[in-house]
């Protein structure tokens, strides 16, 4: 198992500084925020290679592939095409994709917006396939997005897209809200699980909430999951759409990041029988 951290949770902290601290903690890589105005491939590669880290995945900026306005959708598609170029340049095998974060209801109708979302993801996947990249659809909770709130919805969506390089990104925090049985959800998604995000039930460090991470790691082991686990904690406080929460927020995030890795590795060790 490889472990990484989403870079967006650190706000505007320089990537070189983030990479150095993550390497010192023992992480393997990052999920890079897809800010195309901020990151150049050469700078990303230099910052990470200096610390022996990899780009495990890229997460997109908040664009809207399901918007009823064709111009808005085209802008989102153009962004994803450029994000795929960045992914290739930084040797990231996975580009994440999700509905518009913060939009919790349809502007026209759910069915129509889902239809154009399928079309958009298919076009992205076709471009990604040519570059030997995979697309991981992130399943977000109902309070953050109106499309793909459960793994079952996302699996049906993947079937409708009809591309082998499209799979799922499951997130322990979102599953804690939406799924009745997290372990069964992971089992059902086993064939198309490309990526996994880790934060506890309160979106803090692994071990600071009530999520059964021992059970999660056990299930991931049982299905033979060999992808990455990416930590995505945030500081305490309101507004899930920004990392900045007030005085001391970044120190709090780093505390959670430091706590999460040994907890995850301990659960992995115990569930894989390495300590027998």
Question: Catalytic: which of 232, 252, 259, 268?
Answer: 232
pLDDT at 271: 87
Task: Read off the pLDDT of residues 193-225 as tens digits, 9 standing for 90 and up.
Answer: 999 999 999 999 999 999 999 999 999 999 999
Contact indicator for 6, 57 with CB cutoff of 8 Å: no
Q: Is the pLDDT of residue 276 over 50?
A: no
Q: Is 17 a catalytic residue?
A: no
All structural domains of the chain, each given as residue ranges with its CATH number in brackets, are: 2-272 (3.20.20.150)
Q: In the prediction, which pLDDT does 272 show?
A: 77
Query: Taking the model in full, what pTM does it have?
Result: 0.97
Taking residues 45-50, what's their average pLDDT?
A: 98
232 counts as catalytic: yes
Note the pLDDT tens digit of each residue in 252-267: 999 999 999 999 999 9
Confidence of residue 275 (pLDDT cuts 50, 70, 90): very low
pLDDT surpassing 60 at residue 57: yes
Q: State the chain's mean pLDDT as an integer.
A: 96
Q: Quick check: 139 pLDDT over 80?
A: yes
pLDDT grade for 151, boundaries at 50, 70 and 90 = very high
CB 127 within 8 A of CB 90: no
CA gap 27, 23 in Å, rounded: 5
105 CB-near residues (< 8 Å, 6+ apart): 146
Pick the catalytic residue from 138, 252, 259, 268.
138
């Amino acid at each position: 198992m490889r472990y990484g951290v989403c870079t967006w949770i650190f706000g505007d902290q320089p990537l070189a500084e983030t990479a150095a601290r993550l390497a010192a903690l023992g992480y393997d890589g990052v999920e890079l925020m897809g800010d195309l105005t901020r990151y150049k491939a050469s700078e990303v590669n230099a910052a990470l290679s200096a610390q022996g880290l990899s780009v495990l995945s890229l997460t997109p900026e908040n664009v809207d592939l399901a918007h009823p306005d064709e111009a808005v959708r085209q802008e989102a598609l153009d962004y994803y095409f450029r994000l795929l170029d960045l992914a290739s340049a930084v040797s990231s095998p996975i580009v994440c994709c999700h509905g518009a974060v913060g939009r919790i209801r349809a502007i026209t109708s759910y069915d129509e917006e889902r239809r154009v979302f399928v079309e958009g993801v298919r076009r992205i996947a076709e471009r990604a396939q040519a570059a030997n990249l995979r697309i991981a659809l992130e399943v977000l909770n109902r309070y953050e997005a109106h499309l793909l709130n459960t793994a079952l919805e996302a699996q049906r969506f993947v079937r409708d897209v009809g591309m082998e390089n499209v799979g799922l990104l499951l997130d322990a925090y979102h599953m804690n809200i939406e799924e009745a049985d997290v372990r069964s959800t992971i089992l059902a998604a086993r064939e198309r699980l490309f990526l996994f995000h880790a934060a506890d039930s309160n979106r803090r460090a692994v071990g600071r909430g009530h999520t059964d991470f021992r059970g999660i790691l056990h299930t991931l082991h049982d299905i033979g999951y060999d992808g990455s686990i990416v930590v995505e904690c945030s500081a305490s406080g309101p507004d899930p759409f920004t990392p900045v929460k007030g005085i001391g927020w970044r120190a709090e995030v780093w505390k959670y990041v430091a706590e999460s890795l040994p907890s995850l590795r301990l659960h992995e060790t115990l569930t894989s029988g390495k300590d027998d």
